[in-house]
Amino acid sequence: MSDLKTVLGEAVEAAFAAEGVPAELARVTPSDRPDLADFQSNGALAAAKRVGKNPREIATAVAERLKSDPRLASVEIAGPGFINLKLTDAALADRANAVAADPRTGAETLAEPRKVIVDYGGPNVAKPMHVGHLRASIIGESIKRIYRFRGDTVVGDAHFGDWGYQMGLLIGAVCDENPEIAALVDQLNATGDVADEIPDAFRAVTLADLDRLYPLAAAKGKEDLTYRDRARKLTADLQAHKPGCYVLWRQFRAVTQVALERDFHALGVDFDWWKGESDADPLIPEMVAELDAKGLLVDDQGARIVRVAREGDKRELPPLLVVSSEGSAMYGTTDLATILDRKRAFGPDLVIYCVDQRQADHFEIVFRAAYLAGYAAEGQLEHIGFGTMNGPDGKPFKTREGGVLKLNDLIEMTRGKARERLHEAGLGENLPESEFEEIASKVAVAALKFADLQNFRGTSYVFDLDRFTSFEGKTGPYLLYQAVRVKSLLRKAETEGAAAGPVTVAEPAERDLVLTLDAFETALAEAYDKKAPNALAEHAYRLSQAFSKFYAACPILVAAPPVRGSRLTLAAAVLRQLETALDLLGIAVPERM
């Protein structure tokens, strides 16, 4: 069953057509004046210009036809020709019953599902994750869930940064510090033996070592040209699969992955593919040959590039650097090869790259090269950029010590604040320690994710833990609290033996609640079409507010059985829809708090 907006849209279209005015103008939207009407159509104004009639005249004729619709309690003309529609209580009750009976609470699925890859998270081996990765993870996870819920077949891929210059830097830095490792790298490189098992000497390298060494090596590489050149050489050796470098690199990747899985898990983020840049490496030789055969590869001072500038470009786009003068594959090389890899492995209709807005040019260049190479059709690759999470100084968020933020620290810090907030609110106090901890984790994740997703992704926002974790206002914890309240109400009804029954609608707060439940489909469609989870965040918030008003105005458990049954059905539908919407944002609701 379609949502009310669609159903009314069809009715108004039919009335337009019957009056000989273009039906496609008959758009129905929620009313700007909820006190007067539920929905409105402004189509008569546009139609008037087209057919050269007075808009009020058209609106009146259309309204006359609509008046016989049994679902409409009133049809009125306002202003220059707006048509105001008010539904009968019975029509609202019908819709409420359909939503309540539907496991998807009124959300439609696509007629033509597609195969979609969401490339998000994008953490790097050894380099700590920064706020860009945090936002990529939060937004990407939500987009993945929204697309899947809508009916697409979706794969989420982490696309690890594990094959670039930072790997050469680290191999060098680890060897400098540990002569035993350096000797073993040389020995394996010379003998050409790839160890199946990572040797113990390499296994001693921990993530803490990498975290400690990377910033030092990166800084040194910027100042010291010899150091930088050696790192580049080691990167090329790694990419050539020289066994010493390659096996040591496997250790780097393994220790990083364990930590990343833990952090992502704590954040409620999960990938179907934990692939990385290195997974595209085997395809590079063949890709380079193919680009060459297609005449796309150009020699440029020892490097090999693909020119992607187009006639009419407003700015000059640099070419794609495919092979560096040292013979290394670059960031863009692995990205292009990954497109080929994904095409073969999955054949996606669409790949969504959820990555920091600052990489917009990088993706434009890679996408153009992919279209030229025939690895994807124009429009199948889409970069979804986003702004930054800033500190109070308006610059990308940093730790108090001024360093880059580590995801793990951020989660710990937020969890600490969540515990404090729960105590302040007197919540979860009588629960067992382990359950309290689980609740604190969920509150922390809800706080971080909702604060991020309630803004359109392009907007930057300021990190404000006090506000994010508050149980009041437009926050994740507030929404969890509302959902838990409904859960406890429904539990109470069950212990009292109060049964749910068919919905009837009478009170204004009931009408409002049903109209809000009905708007889920619109919110989901917008989130999907615009890749904008904030539409669902907004819906979740409105639904909670509508429920709050309903709860205050309409007694539930003390009402007479038919009314009580109706209100319990409404409450159960609200809970299911709220949990669904929050789940699409990547937020899980505790049982109690």
From CA 390, how far away is CA 463, in angstroms rounded?
6
Contacts of 520 (CB under 8 A, 6+ apart): 3, 99, 105, 106, 107, 539, 543, 577, 581
In DSSP terms, which residues pair with 434 in a beta bridge?
A: none
393: alpha, beta or left? (left if phi > 0; alpha if psi -120 to 50) = alpha
Binding mask 161-180 for ligand ARG (x = CB under 6 A): x-------------------
Which one of the spans 118-126, 249-257, 294-302, 424-432 is the region binding ligand ARG (CB under 6 A)? 118-126
Among 150, 159, 275, 576, binds ligand ARG (CB under 6 A): 159
What does the alpha-carbon distance between residue 427 and residue 268 come to, in Å, rounded to a whole number? Answer: 23
* Interface stretch with ligand ARG, choices 116-124, 231-239, 442-450, 475-483 (CB under 6 A): 116-124
From the list 15-23, 52-60, 117-125, 497-505, the region that binds ligand ARG by CB under 6 A is: 117-125
Choose between 161 and 172: whose C-beta lies nearer to ligand ARG: 161
Tokens found for residue 132: 């860009």
CB of 469 to ligand ARG, least distance (A): 28
Nearer to ligand ARG, 276 or 565 (CB): 276
Task: Using DSSP, state whether 353 is helix, strand or coil.
Answer: strand
Question: Per rule CB under 6 A, is residue 122 in the interface with ligand ARG?
Answer: yes
CA-wise closest residue to 452 among 475, 480, 483, 481: 475
Nearest to ligand ARG of 383, 417 (CB atom): 383
Q: Any contact of residue 355 with ligand ARG (CB under 6 A)?
A: yes
Least distance to ligand ARG, CB of residue 184, Å = 28
Q: SS3 string of 379-420?
A: CCEEEECCCCEECCCCCECCCCCCCCCCHHHHHHHHHHHHHH
| Helix or strand holding residue 582 (H, E) | helix 561-584
Least spacing, CB of residue 161 vs ligand ARG, in Å: 3
The distance of closest approach from Cβ of residue 275 to ligand ARG in the complex, given in angstroms and rounded to an integer, is 10
Nearer to ligand ARG, 275 or 415 (CB): 275
| CB of 119 or CB of 341, closer to ligand ARG | 119
Per CB under 6 A, the list member of 353, 367, 450, 550 interacting with ligand ARG is 353
> Binding pattern to ligand ARG, positions 285-324, x when CB under 6 A?
----------------------------------------
Please, what is the Cα angle at 122 between 203 and 197, to 5 degrees? 20
Query: Would you give the distance in Å from CA 447 to the centre of its chain?
Result: 15
Of 330, 332, 359, which is closest to residue 232 (Cα–Cα)?
330
Beta strands in 336-380 (DSSP E): 350-354
Calpha distance 99→289 (Å, rounded): 56
The count of chain residues that interact with ligand ARG, using the rule CB under 6 A, is: 8
**Residue from 38, 69, 281, 335 in contact with ligand ARG (CB under 6 A):** 335
Q: Which of 41, 97, 124, 580 binds ligand ARG (CB under 6 A)?
A: 124
- In whole angstroms, what is the distance from residue 428 CA to residue 436 CA? 6
The answer to whether 501 and 561 are in contact (CB under 8 A) is yes
Residue closer to ligand ARG by CB (options 82, 165) is 165
- Nearest to ligand ARG of 354, 480 (CB atom): 354
| Residue facing ligand ARG at closest CB distance | 122
The residue among 135 and 159 lying less far from ligand ARG, judged by its C-beta, is 159
Identity of the residue, 129 or 213, whose beta carbon is nearer to ligand ARG in the bound complex: 129
Query: Which strands, in side-by-side order, build the sheet including 28-30?
Result: 28-30, 39-41, 82-87, 72-78
252 belongs to the binding site for ligand ARG (CB under 6 A): no
Which residues of the chain form contacts with ligand ARG (CB under 6 A)?
Answer: 119, 122, 124, 159, 161, 335, 353, 355
